[in-house]
Amino acid sequence: MATHEHHGQQQSLQNEAAQELLDKLGNTISPELLIHALTHRSFAHEHPGMPNNERLEFLGDAVLELVSTETLFTVHPDLPEGELAKMRAKAVSEEALSAIARDILQLGPFILLGNGEKDSGGADKDSILCDTVESLIGAVFLEHGIEGARITVHRLVDATLAEVATEGPALDWKTSLTVKAHELGRGEPRYRMQVSGPEYQQIFTATVFLGEEENSLAEAQGSSKRKAQLAAAQQAWHSLSEHGQEHGEAR
């Protein structure tokens, strides 16, 4: 009897937690579809016959891109296509969506992972968090169409869309650094890469040089080559900006 009661309490806690997640999404999703949206391929692999969330993620990715594009197009009537594309890329990037998964949805504990993936910290991996946000958006679209999906996407992404609009060079630090270097009559940025750490948790270090200059301008680390280069470009851009201002004042 006690076990039965315990199971009932557990079930009720799970239901409450699921309801909290749905409240944050601003929408309802049927229990079956919600489980489908939260099922990572590693879990499905260990439970034959269970569908994983990759098709939903594929659908959600397109819905997210459409609604984000629609928002940027409406909110920024004067911006050219290139700027809008950069803003959208930043707002729906793995980095941005995994932050939404952590900060807004507290999604990690809900994701159904296989044992190996669970043991290696899969519930906090950017790629898995990002994909699951997209699959949830796909599930909302399936149940409520584009109108319902708009509600969820606006709720999750509008703050990020507003933020990227104010970031300027942060939309693409590497491009911004190249432009800044040209403005100051310096050479083209080049990146020297180093990799350290074990295979499953590599750390990339990017060092930025300008043209043929021997002295490096900045150095930064990241969990991928791209992240390390962007972080180094960001530091280098700030360094050049300060340097440019000093020279301007000296004149």
Q: What is the pLDDT of residues 118-164, one digit of tens each?
A: 999 999 999 999 999 999 999 999 999 999 999 999 999 998 888 88
List, as residue ranges, the binding site for Mg(2+): 57, 131, 134
Cα 118 to chain centroid distance, Å, stands at 20
Q: Provide CB contacts within 8 A for 61, sequence distance 6+.
A: 92, 134, 138
Per the listing, tokens 């659908």 go with: 59
Q: What is the pLDDT of residue 144?
A: 97
Q: Provide CB contacts within 8 A for 27, sequence distance 6+.
A: 140, 143, 144, 148, 151, 152
Please measure the distance between the N-terminal and C-terminal CA atoms of the chain and give it in whole angstroms.
85
Res 10 pLDDT > 60: no
Res 1 pLDDT > 50: no
Tell me which of 202 and 246 has the higher pLDDT.
Answer: 202
Name the domain boundary from 115, 140, 171: 171
For residues 150 and 184, state if they share a domain.
no
For residues 29 and 104, state if they share a domain.
yes
As to burial, measured by CB atoms within 10 angstroms (0-12 exposed, 13-18 middle, 19+ buried), residue 28 is: middle
Two tokens at 176?
């911004």
Which positions are catalytic? 61, 134
Q: Among 92-101, 102-111, 121-130, 222-231, name the one with the lowest average pLDDT.
A: 222-231
For residues 166 and 178, state if they share a domain.
no
User: If you average pLDDT over residues 111-120, what whole number do you get?
Assistant: 94
Two tokens at 9?
């309490």
**Could you give the angle at which helices 2-25 and 126-165 cross, rounded to 10 degrees?**
30
For residues 232 and 128, state if they share a domain.
no
For residues 16 and 100, state if they share a domain.
yes
**Number of folded domains that form the chain:** 2
For residues 98 and 212, state if they share a domain.
no
Look at the alpha carbons of 104, 230, 236, 221 in this order and tell me if their dihedral is positive or negative. Answer: positive
For residues 179 and 74, state if they share a domain.
no
**Could you give the angle at which helices 126-165 and 81-91 cross, rounded to 10 degrees?**
140
Domain interval for residue 148: 2-171
Q: CATH number of the domain that 35 lies in? A: 1.10.1520.10
List, as residue ranges, the binding site: 57, 131, 134
What average pLDDT does the structure give for the chain? 88
For residues 77 and 114, state if they share a domain.
yes
Q: What is the pLDDT of residue 41?
A: 96
Name the domain boundary from 113, 138, 171: 171
For residues 25 and 88, state if they share a domain.
yes
For residues 115 and 127, state if they share a domain.
yes
For residues 110 and 49, state if they share a domain.
yes
Residues 36 and 159: their CA atoms lie apart, in Å, by: 27
